[in-house]
Amino acid sequence: MFLLSKLFWVFAQPLSIAFLLAAFATFLVFVGWRRLGGLAAFLTALVLFLTLFTTTGTVALQVLEDRFPKPSQQSQAVSCMIVLGGVLENEVTTVRGGIELNQAADRFVEALRLARNHPQARILISGGDGSISGTYEGEAQASERFFSAFGIPADRLVKENASRTTYENTVNTAGLLKAQGLDNCLLITSAFHMPRSMGLFRAAGITVTPWPVDYRTSGIVRLSLDFTQPALNAQLATTAAREWMSLTAYYLTGRIGGIFPG
C-alpha cells in the first residue's frame, strides 16, 4: 500500500495530470482524432490555468487549515507533545549530517517553545524514512540533534523512527504512549495536515489536543485570478490536492470515520 500510494501520487498531482493530458492530446492528434485531441488539449490548458493563475489551490488548502483552530490557552497539565514527522530533509541530512529543515520546520520550533514552557513534558517524535528507497536516516532519530542543540536533554525525547505514513504514525505512536504511560498530549503538525491526523488518532482511540502550526495561507483568501505568483500557486495547489486525496483514500479504506474530520 505504501509503494502504491507513492507511485499514485507521482501521476496524480496537478502538473503531472496536465502533462499526461498534453501527451494524450498529442497522441490523439497523431492518430487522426483531432477533435478528441483538441478536447484533451483544452483540459490540459484548464488544469494549468487553475493551478498556476488562480487561488483555487490556496482556497482548498485554507479550508483544511481552518478546520482545527489552535486553542487560545495552553493547558498547564501537558504531559507530552506528539510531533509528526515531515520536518527534515532526510536525504540531505543523511549525506551531509547536520539539521536541514524544510517548510514544515514550525513543527519542531513550536515543540521547542512548548518544551521550554512545560519542562516536565515529554516530546514524542514520530517519523521514519518516508522515501521509496528506505535508505535514509529516520526523522525521529535525526531530531535528537535539533533538540539537543537547544538544550533539551535526550531523555525527554521519545523517538518513533519506523513510520512512513500518517497512518503508521498513529499506530506506532499508540503503542509508545501506552508503554510510556503518557496521556493529555498535544498533537503538533501542519494545520492543513491536522484533519487527517485527528481523524486517525480518534479512530485509534487516542485523545489528543490539536495544536496546528505551519500555516501556508493567510486565512482570508478568496477564489480569484492571481497572475503574480504562478510557482507558489502551483505549490499550494499540489499540497492541497495531495491532502484532499489522502483524506478521501483514508475514508474509503475505513481508516478515518469521516472524509473531513472536524
Render pLDDT for 146-193 as a digit per residue (tens, 0 to 9).
999 999 999 999 999 999 999 999 999 999 999 999 988 999 999 999
pLDDT, tens digit, for every residue of 57-76?
999 999 999 999 988 776 66
Residue 81: in which H helix or E strand, if any?
strand 80-84
User: Distance (Å, rounded) from C-alpha 221 to C-alpha 65?
Assistant: 12
Q: List phi, psi (to 5°) of 146.
A: -65, -55
Q: Residue length, the chain?
A: 262
Q: Give the pLDDT band (50/70/90) at residue 128.
A: confident
What secondary structure letter does DSSP report for 88?
Answer: B
pLDDT of 23 higher than 70? yes
- Using a 10 angstrom Cβ sphere, with 0-12 exposed, 13-18 middle and 19 or more buried, the burial of residue 235 is middle
Say what the pTM is.
Answer: 0.93
Q: Give the pLDDT band (50/70/90) at residue 141.
A: confident
Q: Sketch out the chain's domains with CATH numbers.
A: 2-65+228-252 (no CATH), 80-213 (3.40.50.620)
- Cell reading at 58: 490556496
pLDDT, tens digit, for every residue of 69-100?
988 776 667 889 999 999 999 888 888 888 89
DSSP symbols for 186-242? EEEEEGGGHHHHHHHHHHTT--EEEEEE---S-S---S-B--S-HHHHHHHHHHHHH
Give the residue with greater pLDDT, 224 vs 137: 224
Give the residue with greater pLDDT, 3 vs 35: 35
Q: What is the pLDDT of residue 68?
A: 97
